[in-house]
Chains A and B, each alone.
Chain A
């Protein structure tokens, strides 16, 4: 019986060994034939984290208030003639971006991914106006606008191909679903009658955007790749609402309960609106969130 068991075990071991040898042979042969397509990328889950910086792309000059997001304008003492002006295009989704993603490759060349992108340090834009005519007075006006940590969900299709040993080129194309596109606004106005200042938060209606990336991945270890990419995002959001958060006159805070209206709504169509006192729906305008940027990071096989 003992001998029989020994023989069975030996046979079993041989079978396992033979299967392993055959698998190794096939794998080696497969690897030789398809050495440019590592098996690690065939039907596998992966995670991706990255950090980068984005610049204004397809941006705008004017904000919701009809004046530039960024720059200076100076009028003469009559307020009728511009002495000088200087301003820049703006996008509220520029600055330091971080990305966290999970994806699945369905073969060596195509996959799907879901990413969350966070603008962790959005650019702040400031406009300074001198001798602007506001309410019949010559005013010095400063407006600062900054997105409040924009967050986007990005489902995307991923394409990749081997370009050299351990080096892959890839492209990603996806939708941008904005989760947070709120914008902080700070206004400070001084004219001969005094000074007022307020802060407000603008929120936007949902709109769909697009995102694309081109990059290279280097296989640093068996389950770890380092990537560097160039990416773009195309998105503009339309302001829906502006809520007053604080208000002061001549440096003295005024309780919001004493303000007749703390919310202004913005729409693409409406009636009975009065731009002079801000009552009724106001005509909305687009807020630019498009950008172009670079990102580096790692992908890990899960």
Chain B
């Protein structure tokens, strides 16, 4: 009987304790929810990795030279004609993309976010021209152009269908380019000798652009697990920058390096209006738009 009473008391105590715990939990939840100014508002972090393909791209630079492809010419004395060509569209923000973001959901359906997007492996574009006239000399050349790890800051608005289980979301925001520097490497082989009898030259320049605002959007699905939210999305970016400056970084002739102080002009400034100057040229736009896919996870912070 004593054992039964003890057991009953224990069960009763446990029951009371459980009720008390549940009450405390409920009270605590109620108090916590009362403290919040909006229901279900939460901070979150987001990381992801994906790949961007050329979209809204261009095929030629400001001089009308293709970024990517091949062209075979037939040089005959002082005249040259194009015999065949194959060119590709280009965008300098294509390649492997990584993103790190922090955001705040105002409720289950709307939030704001600030992301940093990094192109960690930008696509390199090469254009080969054969047997054309370069400053009057028959030549072959190979030009490789690529962006030097573009970085974009993206403030955005987030809308989603809900917070639990499987949801659809969209994101739309501005693109503020932090780094859109590019590098261009040009290798020239003179077929019958060039200026001052040189047989080849190679130089590398760095191109920087003016600041320009772009736009981005994403459409994705997310699935909330116990600890994190997994997501997959298609995203697009619309951005073109205007070239501002080109600086020679290295120069060699016939395999011999030439000190940069002997290179003229070592720097070219590009503008949209002005007058002739050896250091000034017409600015042109550079494509950074892309369409891509990205997967990742987000978590409460």
Could you list which residues of chain A lie within 8 angstroms of chain B, going by C-beta atoms? Answer: 57-62, 66, 68, 71, 73, 81-89, 107, 109-110, 157, 159-161, 163, 169-171, 173, 209-210, 212-214, 232-236, 238, 268-276, 283-286, 290, 292
Q: Which of B60, B159, B236, B272 contacts A169 (CB 8 A)?
A: B159
Chain B: interface residue count, which band?
35 or more
Docked complex Cα distance between A81 and B277 (Å): 9
Residue B253, interface by CB 8 Å: no
Closest to B159 in A: A159
Which residues 271-287 of B have a CB within 8 angstroms of A?
Answer: 272-276, 282-285, 287
Interface check B89, CB cutoff 8 A:
yes
Is B66's CB under 8 angstroms from A85's CB?
Answer: no
Across the interface, which residues of A come within 8 angstroms of B56, CB to CB? 58, 209, 234-236, 290
- Chain A residue with Cβ nearest B219: A173
Q: B54 → chain A, closest Cβ, in Å?
A: 10
Tell whether, in the assembled complex, residue B84 and residue A271 are in contact, meaning their CB atoms are under 8 Å apart. yes
CA of A87 to CA of B271, assembled, Å: 9
Distance (whole angstroms) from the CB of A87 to the closest CB of chain B: 6
Closest chain B residue, CB of each to CB of A232: B215
| B71, B83, B276: the one within 8 Å of A81 (CB) | B276
Q: How far is the CA of A59 from the CA of B286 in the complex (A)?
A: 9
| Least CB separation from A60: chain B residue | B285
What is the predominant secondary structure among interface residues of chain B facing chain A? strand
Contact with A85, one of B110, B160, B274, B287 (Cβ below 8 angstroms): B274
Q: Does B214 contact A (CB under 8 A)?
A: yes
* B238:A57 contact, CB within 8 angstroms: yes
Q: Give the complex CA separation of A167 and B217 in angstroms.
A: 23
Alpha-carbon distance between A17 and B242 when the two chains are bound, in angstroms: 70
The answer to the question of B64 belonging to the interface, with a C-beta cut-off of 8 Å to chain A, is yes
Shortest CB distance A169–B (Å): 6
Chain B residues near A71 (CB, 8 Å)?
272-273
Pull 30 A–B residue pairs with CB atoms less than 8 Å apart, ordered by A. Answer: A57-B215, A58-B214, A58-B289, A59-B285, A61-B62, A62-B60, A66-B60, A71-B272, A81-B276, A83-B276, A84-B273, A107-B161, A159-B160, A171-B157, A171-B172, A173-B217, A210-B238, A212-B217, A232-B217, A234-B289, A236-B56, A236-B57, A269-B69, A269-B85, A269-B86, A271-B85, A273-B84, A283-B66, A290-B56, A290-B238
Task: Judge whether B88 is part of the interface by a CB distance below 8 angstroms.
Answer: yes
